[in-house]
């Protein structure tokens, strides 16, 4: 189960997360009727709304519902309500603590897709090359099925490769590679 770390004065945020889960769940019957191409088109429509300045919070329920359904179709993994709350909390810039095996990697797909809608580039930062590659290959299946491009930054890549991968809608990168790329870019 989630331990949601909120400051005492922010307890009302949990109520908003629970309300969002109700809305997400209410969209499921409609989304179940869509084929994969229609889900991809709905994500494209949300992306156009995000690019035109629509608040991502307003797009969150539908985006999370579409992402959950595509995850279920592509990977056979359907986000539990507690994982939807975790995605909501992460999107708020807060910390949601999960034990090993509770699906942190899957939870991250929700805010990652939502923030990728703007097409400004969303980075998923991991601690090592193995996790970055594993998650890009595994969760990347969801993103690609939704019509989003996915990149991967690994140690030893040439600058041209790095630029191509950073240009993706979603880029997996380690904290050290990201830091060194930032420093290299600033020095150049």
pLDDT at 186 over 80: no
DSSP string spanning 160-172? HHHHHHHTSSEEE
pLDDT for 184: 76
Report the distance separating Cα 107 and Cα 34, nearest Å: 22
- pLDDT tens-digit map of 68-113: 999 999 999 999 999 999 999 999 988 888 888 889 999 999 999 9
The full 3-state SS of 65-117, as one line of letters, equals HHHHHHHHHHHCCCCCHHHHHHHHHHHCCCEEECCCCCCHHHHHHHHHHHHHC
DSSP-derived pairing of the beta strands 95-97 and 3-5: antiparallel
Tokens of 47: 């992306």
- pLDDT tens-digit map of 30-74: 999 999 999 999 999 999 999 999 999 999 999 999 999 999 999
**Residues 112, 170: contact at Cβ < 8 Å?**
yes
Residue 64 CB neighbour total at 10 angstroms: 27
Torsion of CA 72, 61, 55, 43, to 10 degrees: 40
pLDDT at 10 over 60: no
């Amino acid at each position: 189960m989630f331990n949601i770390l909120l400051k005492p004065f922010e307890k009302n945020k949990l109520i908003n997360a629970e309300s969002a889960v109700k809305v997400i769940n209410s969209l499921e019957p409609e989304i179940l009727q869509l084929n994969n191409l229609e889900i991809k088109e709905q994500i494209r429509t949300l992306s156009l709304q995000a690019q035109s300045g629509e608040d991502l919070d307003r797009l969150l329920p539908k985006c999370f519902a579409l992402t959950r359904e595509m995850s279920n179709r592509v990977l056979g993994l359907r986000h539990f309500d507690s994982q939807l709350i975790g995605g909501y909390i992460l999107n708020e810039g807060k910390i949601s603590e999960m034990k090993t095996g509770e699906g942190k990697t899957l939870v991250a797909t929700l805010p990652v897709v939502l923030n990728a809608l703007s097409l400004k580039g969303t980075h998923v930062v991991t601690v090592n090359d193995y996790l970055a590659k594993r998650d890009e290959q595994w969760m990347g299946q969801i993103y690609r099925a939704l019509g989003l491009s996915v990149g991967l930054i690994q140690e030893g890549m040439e600058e041209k490769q790095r630029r191509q991968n950073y240009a993706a809608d979603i880029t997996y990168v380690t904290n050290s590679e990201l830091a060194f790329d930032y420093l290299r870019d600033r020095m150049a």
